[in-house]
Structure 1
Amino acid sequence: MSVSVQITYLDPELPALSYAQPGDAGLDLHARERLALAPGERALVPTGIALALPEGYAGFVHPRSGLAARHGISMVNAPGTIDAGYRGEVLVNLINLDPRETFVIERADRIAQLIVQQVAHVTLVPSSSLPDSVRGHTGHGASGGFAGHERPAASPLQSKSIR
């Protein structure tokens, strides 16, 4: 499926928004300026583009897995959401999670990925009770996920420290 999205290049010297490989889900977003992120520091990084997403679509900005794995660079609000009505410059809220090393982002570096998806606009229907489901009220790790080994649930009074 393909959808047309209008784009304005606010900095025409940056690489054009594109997919790195055929079949990729995300378009590469590039840094408009050079900056250094000290350990624990975050910054809104401009990308040099503005979009006009059609009604019924939203853009979701995701971190780059290579930056996260190799340098501890992620996003504070991953994924960031671009609503169809937003017309300003796309900014990426990066954070340096490395405890020791400052990371330098160079102008034109690939810093995030933009995924455009169709989204449903919901109509909320007030209800005094919800229908039953297999999952019910469980959540937040209730299904396990530790290599097939169930761990006893912590009591609400137990310490959160790792033992």
Structure 2
Amino acid sequence: MILKYSKVRSGVYTPERANPSDAGLDLFYSPDMSNCGDYDSMGNFIDISGRLQIPVGASVLIPTGIKLEIPHGYCFEIKNRSGNAAKKQLLVGACVVDSGYEGEIFVNLHNFASKVYIINPGMKVAQGLLLLAPPFRLYEVPESEIYRDAVTISNRGDGALGSTDG
């Protein structure tokens, strides 16, 4: 399968897979360098070197500089990179990009660390996965008809949040 992309400005880092068998496509911070020393279109202050600060407890929308042509029946899900999440406490927020979206891809990144974090141009900020998202229609039925199909019978009940841990 081919996933088409384009760069929205010069100096954009190309998304890549570190290894051909990796599930995720690495996404990079690619600022609009014409905004250096000023605020970008998302309200982030970009210093003269293109660095972006994420204050403690804050969240920012990080530009990747790319657009994707996501095929119908798929979505692009932006996920944490394990090193960013586990070691730097930088976690992805809003993450689903629908097939109809035609704009630049942004990464919603939250800083849960106890210090300001600086993102440098070219830093891998997240990974994206192309996932099946089959079209479906919603059909309302009485509650008594939910989970009556033998394929979906379970002893789980309405337990949640670790209810099957034992």
- Residue in 1 aligned with 2:80? 63
Of 136, 143, 147 in structure 1, the residue corresponding to residue 164 of structure 2 is 143
Runs of 5+ unmatched residues, structure 2: 32-50
**What is the Cα deviation at residue 71 of structure 1?**
1.2
Write the deviation string for residues 35-74 of structure 1: whole angstroms up to 9, x where unpaired: 0111101100000000111111110000111011111111
Q: Find the aligned partners of 2:100 and 2:117 in 1 and give their Cα distance.
A: 33
Larger mean Cα displacement after TM superposition, 131-140 or 68-77: 131-140
SS in 2 for 1:114: strand
CA RMSD across the alignment = 1.4
Q: Quick check: 110-119 or 128-137, which moved more?
A: 128-137
Aligned length: 140
Structure 2 length as normaliser, TM-score?
0.79
Identity in percent: 30
Listed as ranges, the matches of 1:35-54 within 5 Å are 35-54=52-71
| Greater helix share, structure number | 2
Structure 1 residue 15, shift from structure 2 partner: 2.6
- Alpha-carbon distance in 2 for matches of 1:57, 1:32: 25
The equivalent of 1:96 in structure 2 is 111
TM-score in terms of structure 1 length: 0.80
Q: Aligned-pair distance for 1:118?
A: 1.5
Shift of 1:125: 2.4
Paired residue for 2:124, among 110, 131, 144? 110
Task: Please say if residues 13 and 29 of structure 2, whose CA atoms lie closer than 8 Å, have aligned partners that are also in contact.
Answer: no
